[in-house]
Amino acid sequence: MVLSKFLDHKEDFLLNLLNNNYSKETIYNYERDLFLFELFLSVNNIDFIDINKKSIVLFKDFLRSGDYVFYLKSEDPSGKHFFPKEKLASRSINRILSSLRSYLKYLIDFDLPTPISPDSVKLVKTERKESQVAEMSDLIRLIEFPTMWEKNNFVQLRNRAILETLFSTGMRISELASLNRDQINDEGKIYIMGKGKKQRFVYLTQRAIDHIFKYLELRDDDFPALFIPYRGGRNGKIGDRISINYIQERIAFYRKKLGIVVPTSAHSLRHGFATYLAEEGANPAAIQILLGHESLQTTNKYVHGSDKYAEETHRKFHPLK
């Protein structure tokens, strides 16, 4: 089928986000989410101006059932609007519904025709999932694995430094890929621009500093990026920043080779950073600052996700020994 139903003023909505200083990644996510709603309208031959509360119910089912996957294959062969080729989790569905809400609010703010109220787009109930993080010993094995596995010395030292940095600081993978060489010093205190353009300090352990400088000793270039590809970047030239996808792929590969059962990614290293700080007795408010979270509630899902910490608390403080 061919996409036949489009959202009026969508481009103006995205431009408004740009003018309000939203990041390119955030704007892309909004565009991608609204594309799915356009796909739903096209499949069901519904004009946007005719949607109602029932349409939203059907849209939720379109997402929940995974029906969108079949239509994406023909409608988006380029993969511009990438979505998992499987059923979406409830949190992903809610993100898409929230994007639609924001678009409807934009229409109202600019006195444009709006078929339903943003409040008519109700979010779905999310599953309560206990957070999982690999054992500390497994995370250490993962971080050290490039030294044993990678044959190329440059790749070996660079990938080890990447994993050491992720676990040392708890930073997001996008924040790591944006690091420049001039942000690194002997003190290991780095000032970074995080999600939502929020700025904060993160801190390298001495171990991480040592591995970064070992890697930098091999560099004979003057490229500003801290971590660069070994052979050409995304634009085919050496000096580009290392790809986030490459980092994720190597972590997945290392995990598989090591036989680590718990799903482990770059985000898992951030999760592990917070969990094991909490297990050592770190203040949740301090962990919140280190992670760059807006809300302590977001941090608590890491802190409270530690079964080991809960068990030790029970054994230590239960009144009937």
Catalytic residues: 172, 195, 267, 270, 293, 302
Name the token pair of 18: 């740009």
CA dihedral 211, 213, 217, 221 (to 10 degrees): 120
Q: Give strand pairing partners of 189.
A: 203
Q: How far is CA 121 from CA 29, 54, 61, 109, in A?
A: 18, 10, 13, 17
Residue closest to 257 by CA, chosen among 174, 145, 134, 175: 145
End-to-end CA, the chain: 67
